[in-house]
Structures are given as C-alpha cells and as structure tokens.
Amino acid sequence: MQQAGRRKKQHTMADVARAAGVSKSTVSRAFTQPEMLGTETVERIAAIAKTLGYVPNHTARALSTGRHGNLALIVTDVANPFFPPLIRAAQMEADGSDFCVFLGNSDENPRQEDKLVDRFVSQVEGLILVGSRLGAERIQHHAGRRPLVLINREVTGIPRVLIDSTTGVRQAIAHLAALGHRHIVYVSGPSSSWANRQRRNALRLAARQHGIEVDVLSARVPSYESGRAVVAELIESRATAAVAFDDLIAQGIMTGMAERGIPIPEAFSLVGCDDVLGAATYPSLTTVSNRSDEAGRAGVTLLLDRLSGRMAGDTRVVLDTHLVVRQTTAAPASGQRRQGG
C-alpha cells in the first residue's frame, strides 16, 4: 500500500515515551512546557529524542493546537519585479518568528485568487493579500475565516499596509516644476489598480498647484512593451516630461526615445515609479521609491501582532515614498524640441 516504505519511519512521541519510560504527555511537555517538569526528566527525554532522531510532527501539532506556524502570502504576479523584494522581506520576517510562508500567485485572476485562499486557509494562521483583485465582499468574507492583512488594497475594517505614492509623486512634480517643465504626461497603468488611481490623482493635484499642464496617456498593462508602444503618442503630445506608472513602462519609454534619437534627459525628462530597477538603466532612472520590502515586512508584522492578540481593530499602516533623483530628469530644452525623423 505505502510505497517507498523505509523513508516514512519517522519516530513518534509514543516511541520516545516508551524509551524514556514516561507517558506521551510528559514527552509533549518536555518540548512545549519544560518548566512544568523535573529538570532531569526534561534532559533525559531530550537526550533520548535526540538519539532516536525524533522530530515533532508539525501537522499533528497544528491539528490539536490550531496553530500551524504558517502564513499565506498571495500576490498577483511573482514575476513582476515589484514583488520579489516584498516576498523576500516577508519571508525573512516570518522566518524570524518561526513562521513558514505559503506563496500563492493569482496571475491577476480573481478566481484563482479565491481558489488559492480556499486551499491555503485551513493550513495557515493568517493571510496576506498583496494588491488583491478580489471584490471587497470576498475579502471581508475571507477575513471572517482567518486573520487577514492587505497590502496596497483598501478595505475598511481590514488591517492594511499602504504604500502611499502621494508624497513621492508630489516631490516628482515639484522637481519637474523646479527644472522648468510646464507640460507633462502621466502614463497610466491598469485602471483597476489602487496604486494607479492614487498616483494619477496625486499627480493631477500637485501639477495644478504648480501650474503644470497634465495629459494622461494609457499604457494598457504595466510592461516594457507597452511603455515602448506609448512613445509615439508621447512625442505627439509635445510635453517635455513624463511620469510613468511604473519603472517597467518608463524603461520601455527610454528605449522608444532612444530608438528615435531623442536623448534623455536633454530632450525629454522621465520619472518612473517603484524603483524596481535600482540604478540599472542608462541613464539611470529618476523614480519614486516604493519600499515594497518594507511593506512586506510590515504586512507580516501586522499579521503576527494580530495573531498574538497584540493588536485589534482597524489598523492602517501608511508608508510614504520619496523621489529618487537620478539621471533622467533635467531642464527642458529651451523653447523647442526635436522632431523625430
């Protein structure tokens, strides 16, 4: 019946108990509440467990305590460079509290996301949803089953971590204004994205305050290709600078400009968002930091606090952002701009 037989012979608590001449309970307590037992008993059991190579069974423990020491992290797209730092930070933070993390990739698909939650929910103590595409009522529902934390998604009553691009975008506009730009373009990302709405609004507001004219162009999806595709329109707009929804789009724009012989930043200034490329473009990209790693860390902390009952109610952590000035912004060419050939 059981194949590959010899591998499975893990020792159980009963084995240790027998070998030590005590009961299961004592062995159990030797591991979980040693202060409750006689010192030498604990030591003896520990020694025997070690020789036997006994390791407590996580699953059994989880079943009786309801505490798995696991949490689920569900993201929309692992391959989007925004996420890896977040995932990494979350994983390490969890690890520091002896938690294991389940990773789910919803592929931007709400149904898939729902399915993942269902699959995970019974083996984790809590969930973190990053940029969830789920409707508010589904999120509420899931939150009713397990402690739930959101990152970059706003649902009242659910603890959440928000990366506030507003501050960074405002700085970007101030920066462009100071350089002398009067007409810029916002290259927008997915309309269903909370971050996109936030950035667009912040940008419009700040631009108005600085007396800068704003056009909005839409890159259908946040990718290098769509950034490159939007360049023609960008040039047509006769703006002198652009702020892109994210760095990927910005990178595409850089290529598109380079292909047309339009030098950045001399003839056109460009600001990205998210700072996922580090300085790894040439010229290096001026961008708004995203602090996604901190968001990941904060998400885990929030969840863990929640689990230990240290925190209740409607927590809302906001991480502000700031502009990282690198080399893609400069004063606009005086009066005229080059025509693409």
Partner DNA sequence: CTATTCCGTGCAACCGGTTGCACGTCAAGC
Partner DNA sequence: GCTTGACGTGCAACCGGTTGCACGGAATAG
By CB under 7 A, name the binding residues for DNA. Answer: 1, 10, 12-14, 21-26, 28-29, 31-33, 36-38, 41, 54, 56-57, 60-61, 63-66
**Cα(37)–Cα(31) distance, integer angstroms:** 10
Q: Could you tell which of its own copies, DNA, none binds residue 51, using a CB distance below 5 to 8 A set by kind?
A: none
Least Cβ distance, residue 140 to its own copies (angstroms): 8
User: Which partner from the list its own copies, DNA, none does 36 bind, CB cut-off 5 to 8 Å by kind?
Assistant: DNA
CB of 72 to DNA, least distance (A): 18
91 interacts with, out of DNA, its own copies, none, CB within 5 to 8 A per kind: its own copies
* Closest C-alpha to 85, from 322, 320, 297, 305: 297
Q: Which residue has the tokens 């009952």?
A: 309
On whether the CB atoms of residues 185 and 215 are closer than 8 A, the answer is yes
Nearer to its own copies, 3 or 334 (CB): 3
Is 287 in a helix, a strand, or coil?
strand
Best CA proximity match to 300, nearest among 145, 124, 139:
124
Which of DNA, its own copies, none does 4 bind, CB closer than 5 to 8 A by kind? its own copies
Task: Output the DSSP codes for 214-261.
Answer: EEEEE-SSSSHHHHHHTHHHHHHTT-SEEEESSHHHHHHHHHHHHHTT
CB 331 within 8 A of CB 179: yes
Nearest-angstrom CA–CA distance, 146 and 148: 6
- Least Cα distance to 252 among 276, 234, 274, 225 occurs for 225
| End-to-end Cα distance, the chain | 74
Tell me the closest approach of the beta carbon of residue 23 to DNA, in angstroms: 4
Contact of 191 with 310, CB cutoff 8 Å: no
The rounded distance, in Å, linking the Cα atoms of 319 and 274 is 13
Task: Between 66 and 211, name the residue whose CB sits nearer to DNA.
Answer: 66
Q: Which does 102 bind (CB under 5 to 8 A by kind): its own copies, DNA, none?
A: its own copies
Instruction: For its own copies, give the closer residue by CB, 71 or 202.
Output: 71
Smallest distance from the beta carbon of 181 to its own copies, in angstroms? 23
Cβ 33 to DNA shortest distance, Å = 7
Instruction: State the minimum distance, in angstroms, from the CB of residue 197 to its own copies.
Output: 26
Which residues contact its own copies by CB under 8 A? 1, 3-4, 6-8, 10, 55-60, 62-63, 66, 68, 70, 77-81, 83-85, 87-88, 91-92, 95, 98, 100-105, 107, 116, 118-123, 143-147, 157, 224, 248, 251-252, 254-255, 258-259, 278-282, 284, 309, 312
Query: In this complex, which beta carbon is closest to its own copies, that of residue 6 or of residue 21?
Result: 6
